[in-house]
Structure 1
C-alpha cells in the first residue's frame, strides 16, 4: 500500500457524529467554540496518487462551559467530490471550484472556510456542512492560498493565489468585513509551488523557491511539481501599501512549506522564521508522499533528480514519517540588500505556529511538531527549547490565548494526538506543555494538515 494511505495517515471510510464526549482533567471554561482541523481523506475505493490530493475532510470538536459537546467529521463537498468534475476543462481553462479543499480551515467575518491553494475557498456551516465555493462577489479570479494571514491590528485577511499560467502570483486583501478590496499582480519568473508567505507591519514577504510546475507531470496525473536547481531561490519583501517594487534577496537553495512568522527588527531589517528543507530533503520527502522522485518519473527533472533518486525509497519513507526540515531564520537587510541565514535547531520540525495576535509582529515563542510525535516550544529570546513526546502521532498545535493574558505564552495549545488506542483532543498549558485536559474522540483521526480554534464570537 502507498505510504500516505496507511498507518496514522490512513483515511477513514465515513462520516460520524458523537455527543457528550468523555473528558479527562478539566477543560478551561473560557474555551467556548470549535477546534476544527482539515486534511486529505480519499473516498473508499478512490485512492489518491499523492498525499496532498485526497478529498478534504474536516474534523471538529465543540467545546462549551467545560464540556465537549460533540465531535463531527465531514468531507468538504466540492464539485470535484460530488460530481467528479475535472480541474482542467476540455478547453484548457481551470475550474477553481473542482478541487480538494483539504489543507486548512479558518474563519473570517463570521464565515468558516475550507482552503486549498489550487482553487477557491469553500464555505462551511459551523456544524461542518458544505455551503459552496466563494469568490467574494465575483472579485476573486485566482486560487486562494491555504495560509492567509490576519493582520491583528486591522483585522484584514491577506492572502495570495499562484497559477500555472500568468498571472503566476497575485496578492489579495480581504477587509475585516469580508470584502475583497485589493488585488495586485506580482511579477515572478515562472510558476512555482508557493505554499506559504509572511507579513510584517508594513511588508509582505514572498518565498520564490525552486519547486516548479511541470506540465509533463500534470499530463501523467501526478502532482505537477519538481525541484529545479536552475530556478534559484530568493525571498521578496514588498510594501503592503502602494505599488512599490519587490526587493528580492537570493538565499541558499531550499524549500519552505510553512513559515513561523516575520517581523521588522527596528534596524531596517525583516526577520523571517520557517521550517526549511534542503534540496535533498525535499526530494526524499516528495518521493515518499507520491511526488516524482527520479529522472525517469519526472521526465525533465533537472539537475536535482540524481540526488532524489539516490535518496531511495527507504530514505523517502523516513523523511515522510519524521520530517527533514529544520527551524531556520533569515534576516533581510533592506538597507544593504544582504540576506543572512542561520539554523536555529537541529531537530526535524514542521508546522510552526504562534499566538496569531502576534502575526507580523515581534514575538518570543514558536510551537512546532518534531518527528511527528513531539511538540517543541521555542523561546526565540533565550535560544532555548522545551520538548514533550506523546508516544504516538501528534498534529499541529493551535495556540489559544487565555482571557486577560499577561504574557505571550499564557494560554492553551490544542492538538490531536493518536496511537493504536485511538485519538484524543489534547488541551495543553502553553507555558510548560503540561496536559490540562483531554477529550476522547469516538474514532481514529488520520494525520492531517492545519486547523483553527474558532471561538463562538467568530461565527454566525
Structure 2
C-alpha cells in the first residue's frame, strides 16, 4: 500500500543516509581531457532527522550534503590525459547536523521548517512552541558535558564556491563553512578572515562577518550566493537579517592584496526585513534586490505568516559602487520575486575584461530569473498559495518565471535620475538555476545556461514536485540586441514568445545562424539538476581570458541526472538493502546542446538538490593548509534517556529532557 509521503521527502527528493569516500565509477563515452584533475561538487538539503515523514517540510529544508565527482588523472602521471572518475558524498558537519546525528532522541529537524513559516494556517501558539523547542534544544546542547554544542544554526545546504584557497559551502542563516577538496570533509566556519581548524595566522583575532557584540551571531548570516571577482579575487557578500540595519554588506580581498577587508557595512534604504536570496555584482557595482517578500518573525503579532508576499508593493533595486554602499540609489518597479541573478555587468566603452574599471560607467545591467508572484516558494513546501488582496490593475501579470533583462541608467559619476531604462523578458520559457561561463561573470557574457520544463511551467499542483526535464542555453546578447531594436512593453513584454515545444520543434541551426535559444531535451522519465559550465582548458591557461566571442560556449555542461523508472509503483526509491537506485553525471557538449559525450554511473543516487561548482586541478592544489577536520558523531542508538554509554559517549543524564522535545 502506498503511503502519503511529502512530495519533497519521497522519490528522488528523499534523503540518502549513506555517505561514501572517493569511490571509482564506471562510465561510457569519452571524458574530456579538459576535466582532468578537477572536481564537480553540488550542494543540497538532505535531512538527517527524518523519522517523521508526515511533518511539515520544504525543499529548502535539510542538512547540507555535498556530492562530488573527481576526475582523477590516471596512472600517477600528472601529464597523462587518462581520466578516472571517482564519486564522494559527505554530510556537512554543521553544529545542527552533529547534534542531530549524536542525539538519540531527535526525530524531527532541530530548526523550524520554512513551510511552517509560510503556512497561513500556522497559529501563533504553534509558532511559539516550535521556536521554544528549537531554543530549548540549543540551550541543552550548550550545557556542560554536551559534546555537540549548537553555536550556529546554518545547515550550509545551498551552494558551494571557491575563494582565495578555500572551498566554501553556504546558506543564508550563517557564515560560510570551509570544506576540503577532494574528500569533501568539513573543516570549519569561515568568518571572512580565517576558518576554524586552520593554523594560526599571526594571532589575528579580529572579528569578521557579523562583527562583535550581542547581535554578531545574526549579522554573520551571509547570502548563500557570494560572488568572487576572478579579476580582483575579491569575495562580495551581503547579510540580510531581521534587525536594523536590515541589510549589511562585506567585501573580502585575497590575502595577497593590500586592500582592507570591509565587513558589515550598512546598506541604507531597506525599511523592513526581507527574504533576500541573491544579488547582482558587476566588476564595478553591486545591486541589492529589496523585493516585496518579507521575512519578519514579528508578523505573527500582526496575524500574518513569518514569510509573506505583498502583491501591491514595489520591487526595489539598490545600485551602488562596489566599495561604497552608502552611495546606493534605489530604482522602483512592479512587484516580483527573484531568487537567482544570472549575470551583472557595466556599460563602459573604455573598459574591458582585463581592465574592468577602465572608464566611466553609463549603465549597469542585470539578468535575473523573475517570478511574477511568490507562488513557487509555497509550491516547494506543498502548500496552497494563500488568497491575497488583488494587485492593482497595473501590476496584473500571468504566472511566470522568466529570464529578465534590466538596465539601470547611470549618468557619469552619480545617479541623477533613478530610472530603469529597460526591463523585459528575453524569453517566454520557464527559466531557473542560471549559470554562465566562469570566465565571463560580471562582464557582458553572451550565453546563460539554466533549467526549464515541458510540464506546467508557472504553477505546480499540490502533491506534485517541480522537476527539470529541459536544459536551456540562451544567447542573451542576441536577444538583448533584438529587444533594443524593437523594445517590448516595459515589465510585461517579452522578446521571444515561443514555448518550449515550439523551440524543440524548430529546425536545427548551426554556426552563426544558431537559434538564440537552444534546448537539451531529457529522455522520457529522466530528470536533471542545475547544469554547471566548464570551459575547455585552453581558455584559462595562466589566468588568460582567451575569450573570443565564438569560443565562449566551447566547453561542457555537467549535471546530475536520475532515471525515475527506478522508482517503485508508489514512487519510492528502493533502499540500499534491496539494490538501491543510482544517479548519473552527464557531460554535455555546451556548444551543440545535443550530445552527451560521457555518462558517469554513480555508486548511489544523488537527490535533487541545489547549486554546484567546478573546482579546477589548480584550485584543489592551491588550498590553504588546515590542522584537522570536523568529525560527524556516530549515529546514536535508541536507548534510555540516561544511558550515557549507548548512542554517543558523554551524554549527560539531563539530556533525557530532549526525548520529550525530539
Q: 2:425 maps to which residue?
A: 343
Q: State the match for 1:277 in structure 2.
A: 371
Give runs of ≥4 in structure 1 deviating > 4 Å. 84-92, 216-219, 291-295
- For 1:121-173, what per-residue CA distance to the aligned partner results, in whole angstroms no more than 9, with x for missing partners? 11112111112222235311121111111112111111111111223111111
- The answer to whether structure 1 residue 403 and structure 2 residue 537 are counterparts is yes
Question: In the TM superposition, what are the counterparts of 1:13-412 in structure 2 within 5 Å?
Answer: 13-17=17-21, 19-31=23-35, 32-43=37-48, 44-45=50-51, 49-65=57-73, 66-84=82-100, 89=135, 97-126=152-181, 127-135=183-191, 136-137=193-194, 138-141=207-210, 142-177=220-255, 181-183=261-263, 184-187=265-268, 188-215=270-297, 224-242=306-324, 244-266=326-348, 268-279=362-373, 282-283=374-375, 285-290=376-381, 293=384, 303=389, 324-335=400-411, 336-339=417-420, 340-371=422-453, 372-383=468-479, 384-391=516-523, 392-405=526-539, 406=548, 407-412=551-556
Rate the CA distance shift 1:67–1:263 in 2: closer, same or farther, 3 A: same
Secondary structure in 2 matching 1:192: coil
CA deviation digits over 1:187-241, x for unaligned, max 9? 211111110011112110111101101316789xx99422123542111111113
Deviates more, 1:142-151 or 1:82-91: 82-91
Partner Cα distance (1:18, 1:352) in 2: 28
1: CA distance between counterparts of 2:449 and 2:335? 25
Q: Identify if the C-alpha distance between structure 1 residues 200 and 18 changes in structure 2 by more than 3 Å, giving closer, same or farther.
A: closer
SS at match of 1:358: coil
Question: Greater share of strand residues, 1 or 2?
Answer: 1
Contact 2:293 2:337 in 1 (8 A): yes
> Which SS does the other structure have where 1:359 is aligned?
coil
CA contact (8 A) 1:156 1:175 kept: yes
TM-score, with length taken from structure 2? 0.61
- Runs of at least 5 residues in structure 2 that lack an aligned partner in the other structure: 74-81, 101-109, 112-130, 140-149, 195-206, 211-219, 349-360, 392-398, 412-416, 454-467, 480-515, 540-547, 567-581, 624-662
Alpha-carbon distance in structure 2 between the residues aligned to 1:304 and 1:7: 36
Match of 2:598 among 422, 437, 441: 437
Cα distance in 2 for partners of 1:367, 1:256 equals 17
CA distance 1:349–1:178, shift in 2 (3 Å): farther
**What's the C-alpha RMSD, in Å, of the aligned pairs?**
2.7
Judging changes above 3 Å, is the alpha-carbon distance between structure 1 residues 49 and 157 closer, same or farther for their aligned structure 2 residues?
A: same
Q: 1:167 to 1:89 in 2, by over 3 A?
A: farther
TM-score (norm 1): 0.87
- 1:281-304, Cα deviation, whole Å (9 max, x unpaired): x22x22222276555xxxxx9636
The alpha carbon displacement at 1:72 in A equals: 1.2
Change (3 A) 1:223 1:361: farther
| Cα separation, partners in 2 of 1:145 and 1:223, compared to 1, 3 Å | farther
Structure showing greater radius of gyration is 2
SS at match of 1:249: strand
